[in-house]
Amino acid sequence: MTTIRDIARHAKVSTATVSRILNNDSSLSVSEETKKRVLEATKELKYKPLRKKAPKVEMKRTDCQIGVLILNDETVDTYFQSIRLGIERTCREFDLNIASVMAVGKSDISSESFSDFDGLIVIGDIDISDLKTIYHQNNNIVVVDYLPVEKDVDAVISDFENATDEILNYLFSLGHSNIAFIGGKGMVYGLSSKNNREKKDARHAAFNKIMKEKGLYNSKFIKTDEWGTANGYALMKELLEEEHLPTAVVVGSDPMALGVYRALHEAGLKIPEDISIVSYDDIEAAAFLTPPLSTVKVYTDEMGKTAVKILYDKLNGRNVPLKVTLPTELVIRESSGPVNNALLREVN
């Protein structure tokens, strides 16, 4: 069955453009040539709507100024960049103007810099009470990748608790019980460093909880530091210095897993014959590693899209705060396999 995505690919335009042309969006500004190309593609591909089109309802044009605040360094982990790109693409679809993209520690964060924003999307763990000291003109705040305790703030997160449960049950089914965790430190950021405070990362917390319930928790197998490839490498080197090695390692992010791979390669250990690796994110490079990386697919682009949609809804009158949890998917590749029984005897 032909989809809008197929038409967009054939006509070399975005799916949003196809959708708006097919719905006769009068606010869309594209050339007649583009419209003709899209309409010809629908005929050529024999596109049929899944259901009869309802009478067109004009979306409210907000003409709002949106601020995007980033708490984490995108150059260290593309996870956050993917969320931002999803935000930017969806803002264009909803006629929302991103007035400014700011990074804490790199931008001028002040009441003046926030004064013109009708809404604010924050990527990362933010101290909401600290934020509201400079952004207090309304409650139009959406936080992505963090679940604040404040009830009046919208939030979009991924279900890392269930993802971790799925990873561990998968490893248990392969015979693994000596399982390590390598991850980044959780941090709630304030607008100044003095207001920063540590928190346990959701993946780390879920791992500890499940392993303790199973009676398999080993504090020597828990290694955390700042996020990033270099720290993944350093933490795996630390783990290799332990008296006994785990048979599997759960890594908090794919970029950290890249460093883990390097450390294991230098140590002459094979993946997954000696140690199985499972990670989180499913970045593009994960499928091209040797061996391809088993990882949890996190829908970062959809997180960004959802943040814009619920902010748009709030700007148009919604009063009830929303906490949206997106599902994840465990993608099994060749970096994980059955426990090496010879190695298991050595560990025990």
Would you kindly state where each structural domain of the chain is located, as residue ranges? 4-44, 65-158+300-327, 160-297+330-347
- Residue 26 pLDDT: 61
Q: Count other Cβ atoms within 10 Å, centred on residue 46.
A: 8
Decide if 65-158+300-327 and 160-297+330-347 have a common fold. yes
Nearest to 226 by CA among 76, 4, 114: 76
What burial class does residue 189 get, using C-beta atoms within 10 Å of its C-beta: 0-12 exposed, 13-18 middle, 19+ buried?
Answer: buried
- Residue 11 pLDDT: 83
Low-confidence ranges of the chain (pLDDT < 50): 51-59, 61, 345, 347-348
CATH classification code of 160-297+330-347: 3.40.50.2300
The H or E element containing residue 199 is strand 197-199
CA separation, residue 81 to residues 264, 301, 315, 338 (Å):
28, 9, 25, 34
Kindly report whether the peptide bond that precedes residue 246 is cis, defined as omega within 30 degrees of 0.
no
- Residue 63 pLDDT: 67
* The token pair that represents 255 in the structure block: 């970029």
Tens of pLDDT, residues 187-205: 777 766 666 777 789 999 9
Cα first-last separation, the chain:
55
- Residue 302 pLDDT: 96
CATH classification code of 65-158+300-327: 3.40.50.2300
